[in-house]
Amino acid sequence: MGIADQLELGSWNVVCYECGNKRKSSYMLRHWQGYYLCPEHWEYRQPQDFVRAKADQQTPAWAQPMPKDTFASTCDINGNTAVSDCAVSDCVTSDYVAPGFNPIVQPY
């Protein structure tokens, strides 16, 4: 006969999850993971399990978009002509077509 082989009202025989020994249910302790152990095998939960980190704010406090590209147009022979899609604003001369005008060379 073992330790748990006697009558104890309101208690029953159980097996320790850790060592496998038969004990009475009133003698066992519930482990933090949910199973029952002998008092010799029961251990406290690691305090580091309860540590919570502070929320990490990933967004910057403020941000601004990149400025748009600025293009400075220059006056050249094709930009000075009065042909649409070739003229450069503030450079065009009305009714003027340069003698060396080449519509293939675009100013942009």
Question: How do residues 52-79 score in pLDDT, each as one tens digit?
Answer: 988 888 888 889 999 888 877 677 777 7
Average pLDDT for the chain: 82
Q: How far apart are CA 27 and CA 36, in angstroms?
A: 10
pLDDT (0 to 100) of residue 103:
67
pTM exceeding 0.75: no
Closest CA to 7 of 34, 30, 20, 26: 26
**Confidence band of 107 (pLDDT split at 50, 70, 90):** low
Could you tell me if residue 5 is inside a domain?
yes
From 42-46, 57-61, 87-91, the region with the lowest mean pLDDT: 87-91
Mean pLDDT, residues 13-35: 90
> Quick check: is 94 in a domain?
yes
Domain holding 15, by residue range, is: 1-40
Number of domains the chain is built from: 2
